[in-house]
Amino acid sequence: MKKLPMHASFGCMFFTDTAGRVLQLRSSIPEHGQLWQWPGGNTDEVNEAPFETAVRECRKETGITFTGRPKVLAVFWQPVGKWPVAKLGFAFDGGQLTAGDIDRITLDPDEHAEFAVKSLDEWAKILDTRGWERLAAVHHAQRTGTAAHVELRPDAV
């Protein structure tokens, strides 16, 4: 009998502003370093779907209550390594935020120290190569409507 594969899952929301600039949050968790990431997190409950996770974590981390329908921009896969099981994740399209939406963002200080909305050129100067490649893939998926598949191999994490 074959053993079933085991995965942890996560979901995140990918937002741009009305000028197409990307929102990211900088982690305040020391072991994450200065990691920039999108609102989201790990699925906590056994029957919580990744989209539910993304919406819940987005509300908790930014105060944004997303009410739209799920639109997958990217699927991520990370092999066993830092986690005892592989991770499967989904980036969902959060759409465009207005200046007012951005002004109302309230961060959870236990998770994030700051947020920024920057152009792709600005993010390219800040992110490491792998972080930039992930952001560029998801941004391209949002612009083209074609979902991305991203493998987060150990050399890419």
d(CA 117, CA 2): 46
Pairing of strands 22-27, 40-42: unpaired
Return the closest-CA partner of residue 90 out of 50, 59, 148, 49. Answer: 50
Q: Tell whether the model's pLDDT for residue 155 goes beyond 70.
A: no
Range of the domain at 136: 11-156
State the average pLDDT for the chain: 91
- 78 phi/psi in degrees, rounded to 5: -130, 125
Domain presence at residue 71: yes
Question: Is the whole-model pTM more than 0.85?
Answer: yes
Whole-number percent of the chain with pLDDT over 90: 71
Of 75-79, 89-93, 94-98, 135-139, which gets the smallest average pLDDT? Answer: 75-79
Report the domain count for the chain. 1
Pairing of strands 72-78, 148-151: parallel
Contact between residue 47 and residue 55 where contact means Cβ atoms under 8 Å apart = no
Contact between residue 94 and residue 14 where contact means Cβ atoms under 8 Å apart = yes
Q: Tell whether the model's pLDDT for residue 18 goes beyond 60.
A: yes
Domain presence at residue 4: no
What pLDDT score does 30 carry?
Answer: 79
CATH number at residue 25: 3.90.79.10
What pLDDT score does 156 carry?
Answer: 44
Task: Read off the pLDDT of residues 110-153 as tens digits, 9 standing for 90 and up.
Answer: 999 999 999 999 999 999 888 899 999 999 999 999 999 998 77
Higher pLDDT, 71 or 31: 71
Domain presence at residue 2: no
Looking from the CA of 84 toward its CB, the CA atoms found within 13 Å total 0
Contact between residue 95 and residue 68 where contact means Cβ atoms under 8 Å apart = yes
Mean pLDDT computed over 88-100: 96
Task: Compute and round to an integer the Cα radius of gyration of the chain.
Answer: 15
Mean pLDDT computed over 58-72: 96
Domain presence at residue 107: yes
Q: Identify the band that residue 157 occupies on the pLDDT scale cut at 50, 70 and 90.
A: very low
Mean pLDDT computed over 64-92: 90
Domain presence at residue 5: no
Domain presence at residue 121: yes
- 72 phi/psi in degrees, rounded to 5: -75, 125
Domain presence at residue 36: yes
Domain presence at residue 148: yes
What pLDDT score does 79 carry?
Answer: 84
